Structure 1
Amino acid sequence: MEEQQLGRILVIDDNEDILFSAKMLLRKYAKEVVMEKNPKKIPFLVSNEEFDIILLDMNFSQDITSGQEGFYWLKEILKYDPSAVVVMITAFGDVEMAVRALKEGATDFVLKPWQNEKLLATLSAASKLKSSYKEVSQLKEVNKTLSAALSPEQEILTGQSGAMRNLFLIIDKVARTDADILLLGENGTGKEVIARTIHQRSSRADKIFITVDMGAITESLFESELFGHKKGAFTDAKEDRIGRIEAANGGTLFLDEIGNLSPSLQAKLLTVLQRREIIRVGTNKPIPVNIRLICATNMPLREMVQRNEFRQDLLYRINTVELNLPPLRKRLEDIPLFADHFLAAYAKKYKQALKRLSAPALEKLQRYTWPGNVRELQHVLERASIMSDNRELQPDDFFFMPEEEFNVHAATTTPDAQSLDDLERDAVQRAMQKHDGNISKAAKELGLSRGALYRRLEKYAL
């Protein structure tokens, strides 16, 4: 064993010979060995100092055989530090007492007088367990920090329209449950923002939130991406890999663009959702998963069910609660609040003076029909905040794509399907040329996700 591998060790025993022997043995392998005769000092020690391992005697002077004092102090230690790694020691141990100690939270159990090699092996295993506890704790903290940093919760909370107030009330009700939720709405309406808000207001808020863009996963990689795989399961499987569903265990899984799944993939997903277990590619071992499921799509799933393009049983499975997100053109009164939020964010991001909308600029924004919804509004505000030298943004600071390309809602007559396809193809082609083929920038300008843009590029052979 390497020196100082065991970290800080606290040894609690009323026998000075035991304390001395432990220190003599462990001082070479531990970073520090703290000895204590009086168990009544345990609360002070564990609440004010951090120990990697605690060696706790089960029998003190008041009760030298039953181990009751040891069980009492074990509970006290775990009350102050639930992640404490405690190894019980006694001269009167038996199997029954050992089993009880483990059931009550002890990590292991050794008899005294101990064999040095066995004690060191036991403490080495305990040290590894403590290290894993620390890693898990750090990962949880990192995840909470990332969730807070990445979550645009303020965006969804920005809204005073009747449609949004009603949506907020429903979110407050469903967030506290574990009900599966289906979010419906046009691209750019903020479905992922809503999903994150529901997660943050749920009992799983301190757990992980995993997003999967179903439209961007190819059929051949579907099982590997979602269920994981075993090393050697296929040509490129060079190591074991956990899938997205297993990674979300204990937390929330957000499946975006679920309407894009093929029938065969829908069947595989339904099986997982019904059984709440996954099987990694290359294995036969089922792994149980505990997830809160939120799905989203901009596609008419009920019409797709009628056309046999989407499984009815899968639709029932994913929409215990269904939320419809209103497009921005139906809540134009929310634009000033969105503008305040985004302009403040960009002033901070680009280290510039806070800018605001002039009355004519706001009027221009509220006349536009926003085919790309909130995502498009965010984009034009960011562009204006960068390009304008004025503290007060004017109408000329805002540029929109020609409305005839997207704004079918404002048309007095409905174009036929072919003309809509032509308009969409031209808009996609121009955006790709403008941004030199950059998918992310083109998708952002069009108010589309990357996956949706990929599908349109494939559709129009661009």
Structure 2
Amino acid sequence: MNLRAASVLVLDDDPDILTAVRLLLKTQVREVTVERRPEALPGLLAARAFDVILLDMNYHSAINTGNEGFFWLRRIKELGSAAAVIMITAYADIDLAVRALKEGAADFVVKPWHNDKLLSTIQDALRPLGGAEAGKAAAVPARAGGAPNLLGSAPTMQQIFRTIEKVAPTDANVLVLGENGTGKDLVAQAVHRASARAAGPFVKVDVGALTPSLFESELFGHKKGAFTDAREDRAGRFEAAQGGTLFLDEIGNLGLAQQAKLLTVLQNRQVTRLGANQPTAVDIRLICATNVPLSELADERRFRKDLLYRINTVELLVPPLRSRPADIAGLARHFAAQYAAKYHRPAPTLSPAALRRLEQYAWPGNVRELQYTIERAVIMADTAELQPEDLHFSQLEPTPAAAAEVADNLTLSAVERNAILRVIEKHGGNITRAAQELGLTRTALYRRLNKHAL
């Protein structure tokens, strides 16, 4: 189900939380209902059907066991509601997370949360599962035409598109590398959608967020009675991805013990659920991603080389946005049109000065930061043409380059860097021609590329 068609109920005894969630969701979903008293739940469920319920685990400040939340989770099931239940708590207790998932919750979030993470969690809960036992696997419906927002005319992006075309029809394992915010998940989706497995599920797992106690149960599944509160058989993500693609995000954050278990499964192409004796054969296409540089990943004190060889049949390096300034204008226009449609506003244009401001910024948060910058501008702008003053850059990732975001304050070094980038882009990455236009020797240009970390 699409997020905008969803009906959401929020139960929390903190009025500030209810206000914040209502304001966040009212433009994102069809209907949002908030309630402070959990006792009102049976009446609310009798009056209407909800697609998602955000359920607080504690309703008395002196009692932080989560038992109240579990009681109301069971009541929701007893009342026959088909809503996906997302448990919320201010206490990051992993035992509560494990228990909530095992008792039927679709997911678990901790207050305070990032708004985009909460929206993503709700959207994942709305997606149809890959089977009766698929647990909370996020199966993304496949569709032709590649991944949304995977755009770019820069030579580095064109090389990625060509590689995707070659590797997608095979079952080769793919490792996607790149900084945060570059769109590694979109690359993974593009590979899946161009493959022979496109009709199968695309199951994404953020393995870096899985604790050792959750790792095996989430990836490999468990049998009823395998541990306390294991009340039914449950498939893991490998089984949920059967016939499709399994995308393991942030694999560079896995511990060595988890890496060994993952390697065994990949070698044998079999998983054994916790509490089971018989293995189950799995037929999946594996894609992994990490923001850890390959040179660091190759350190055996951090990552097993035998596993790295196994997952790295084909490598795709997604370039940072600062290295392809020619793509910034096209991406900005794309996001402007997207958010204008979302917020029911006329699609704005970008003034030449606004485009210059975007191209001169370093984008430490990459395409994701550009997306949020344009979204804010679309919401806050007073005119149909975005101006430089409508563009406000994030302060979350301060870098020396970020300080040079305004043209009037650009340092000489930043000017030189941007000039080199523009000329290299102009000549399609040809260093000889770029050096000739800049009036430099190839050796001098290489020194400057090294100086500016290009």
Aligned match of 2:451: none
Does residue 264 of the first structure (1) align with residue 282 of the second (2)? no
Distance 1:250 1:404 in 2: 39
Does residue 233 of the first structure (1) align with residue 229 of the second (2)? no
Aligned match of 1:154: 148
**Deviation string, structure 1 residues 323-348 (Cα, Å, up to 9, x no partner):** 11100000011011111211111111
Distance 2:167 2:347 in 1: 36
| Residues 5-404 of structure 1 mapped to structure 2, 5 A cutoff | 147=141, 153-156=147-150, 158-402=151-395
Q: How many residues align?
A: 273
Distance 2:171 2:235 in 1: 23
Distance 2:170 2:144 in 1: 23
Distance 1:327 1:359 in 2: 23
Distance 1:136 1:152 in 2: 21
- Change in 2 beyond 3 A, CA 1:136/1:338: closer
Distance 1:407 1:203 in 2: 45
Residue type of the alignment partner of 1:234: F
CA RMSD of aligned residues (A): 2.8
Partner of 1:340, secondary structure, is: helix
CA contact (8 A) 2:140 2:202 kept: no
Residue type of the alignment partner of 2:387: Q
Gapped runs of 5+ residues in structure 1? 1-134, 412-462
Residue type of the alignment partner of 1:308: R
1:410 CA drift (Å): 8.1
1:406 CA drift (Å): 2.8
CA contact (8 A) 1:371 1:407 kept: no
CA contact (8 A) 1:259 1:301 kept: no
- Change in 2 beyond 3 A, CA 1:246/1:404: closer
CA contact (8 A) 2:142 2:199 kept: no
- Change in 2 beyond 3 A, CA 1:149/1:176: closer
1:147 CA drift (Å): 2.4
Distance 1:257 1:278 in 2: 21
Residue type of the alignment partner of 1:223: E
1:303 CA drift (Å): 2.6
1:144 CA drift (Å): 13
| Residues 429-440 of structure 1 mapped to structure 2, 5 A cutoff | none
Question: Comparing 227-236 with 308-317, which one deviates more in the overlay?
Answer: 227-236
**Deviation string, structure 1 residues 17-54 (Cα, Å, up to 9, x no partner):** xxxxxxxxxxxxxxxxxxxxxxxxxxxxxxxxxxxxxx
Distance 1:281 1:397 in 2: 54
Distance 1:238 1:151 in 2: 41
1:353 CA drift (Å): 0.7
| Residues 403-422 of structure 1 mapped to structure 2, 5 A cutoff | 405-407=398-400
CA contact (8 A) 2:362 2:401 kept: no
Residue type of the alignment partner of 2:339: Y
Partner of 1:326, secondary structure, is: coil
User: What is the TM-score with the length of structure 2 in the denominator?
Assistant: 0.57
CA contact (8 A) 2:146 2:194 kept: no
**Deviation string, structure 1 residues 163-197 (Cα, Å, up to 9, x no partner):** 11111111111111110000000000000000000
Distance 2:402 2:297 in 1: 23
1:389 CA drift (Å): 2.0
Distance 1:136 1:225 in 2: 14
1:296 CA drift (Å): 0.3
Distance 1:150 1:382 in 2: 26
Residue type of the alignment partner of 2:278: K
Bigger CA radius of gyration:
1
Distance 1:294 1:201 in 2: 13
- Change in 2 beyond 3 A, CA 1:289/1:137: closer
- Change in 2 beyond 3 A, CA 1:138/1:333: farther
Distance 1:145 1:278 in 2: 19
Partner of 1:173, secondary structure, is: helix
Name the % identity. Answer: 56
CA contact (8 A) 1:301 1:310 kept: no
1:145 CA drift (Å): 11
1:408 CA drift (Å): 5.8
Residue type of the alignment partner of 1:155: N
Partner of 1:334, secondary structure, is: helix
Gapped runs of 5+ residues in structure 2? 1-128, 405-454
1:390 CA drift (Å): 1.2
Residue type of the alignment partner of 2:148: Q
Partner of 2:190, secondary structure, is: helix
User: What is the TM-score with the length of structure 1 in the denominator?
Assistant: 0.56
CA contact (8 A) 2:225 2:232 kept: yes
1:301 CA drift (Å): 3.9
**Deviation string, structure 1 residues 369-412 (Cα, Å, up to 9, x no partner):** 1011001100111111111121100111111135982346989x
Partner of 1:212, secondary structure, is: strand
Partner of 2:195, secondary structure, is: coil
